[in-house]
Amino acid sequence: MDEKKNSLLIVDDENANLKVLTHMLGSDYTIYTATNGLNAIEKAKELVPDLIMLDILMPEMDGYATLAEIKACKEIQKIPVIFISGLDSDEDEEKGLSFEAADYITKPFSAPIVKLRVRNQIQIVNQMRTIERLGRIDQLTNIPNRRSFDERLQMEWKQAVREQTPISLLIMDLDHFKNSNDTYGHQTGDVILQTVAGTFSQSFKRPGDFAARWGGEEFVVLLPNTPLDGALEVAEKIRSDIENTSISAIDGSKIRVTISVGVNSFVPGKDDSIDTFISNADKALYSAKETGRNKVVHN
């Protein structure tokens, strides 16, 4: 399957310019076009392209005014904009860049220059996305980290309050993990954490279920629109899957681990607290640990 192309929105009131730029760039990018500022803003909101190429001299709403509108709109303000213009003096270019344009390309177009400048901006966009993605992924287990979980919980909590649907939380802790580290070494400890993280997707029934590494040997699972009985079923499936998984230690020996799970399910109201929701799941986990481990306990 081909990798998805980055997308460009080209804005120019001259169809000839749109055709030239589409011909230059169409083989490398998905191209959208607009012929005036208002249409450009509408299309940017609808399509959210990776880069906008914006003519300055347009009737009714020029490029400067269009860029100002883009920067004022939260959903599209981070899209980089390259001005394209027949205004080719240093003063014109300085003015364009002072409006927070990412770059400035003059007409008539030089194909190599256009391609290089567009490629440079697209590379920056892709690099920033990679950095952002990595900032939300736990590097050892390759599942979402606590920051990512906190963001997802805020979103799902608001929806549960709005729609008055149940939301469930599982907090899990590996049993005797320090002993495993001491006995088999930290490399095997890392393998254990990676193996446990890999079992979650097998235990989930719906794409909206969300697992993350909470920190250390703790993991969390968020189950939107899930009542207690459904949450307990998922929790028991995770506990059983982990107990029945054979893990290869660095020395070649086979080991098994278990996990304790605390569960809390709740239909939140607008005055309820996320912190209390998490705390109650954590108390259930503590109870599972205190009463024998390798079990599921609900609040």
pLDDT at 1: 43
Domain 7-134 superfamily per CATH: Response regulator (3.40.50.2300)
Indicate left, alpha or beta for 83 from its phi (over 0: left) and psi (-120 to 50: alpha). beta
Percent of the chain with pLDDT strictly greater than 90? 81
User: What pLDDT digit, counting tens, does each position of 107-142 carry?
Assistant: 999 999 999 999 999 999 998 888 888 889 999 999
Count helices and strands (H / E) in the chain: 10, 12
Which residue among the candidates 91, 156, 217, 233 is catalytic per the annotation? 217
pLDDT at 153: 95
Q: Is 91 a catalytic residue?
A: no
Which helix (H) or strand (E) segment is 248 a member of?
strand 247-248
Per-domain residue ranges for the chain?
Answer: 7-134, 146-298
**Do 7-134 and 146-298 agree at the fold level?**
no
To the nearest 10°, report the CA torsion of 72, 78, 82, 85: -10
> Structure pTM?
0.67
User: What pLDDT digit, counting tens, does each position of 57-70 carry?
Assistant: 999 999 999 999 99
What kind of architecture, by CATH, is found in domain 146-298?
2-Layer Sandwich (3.30)
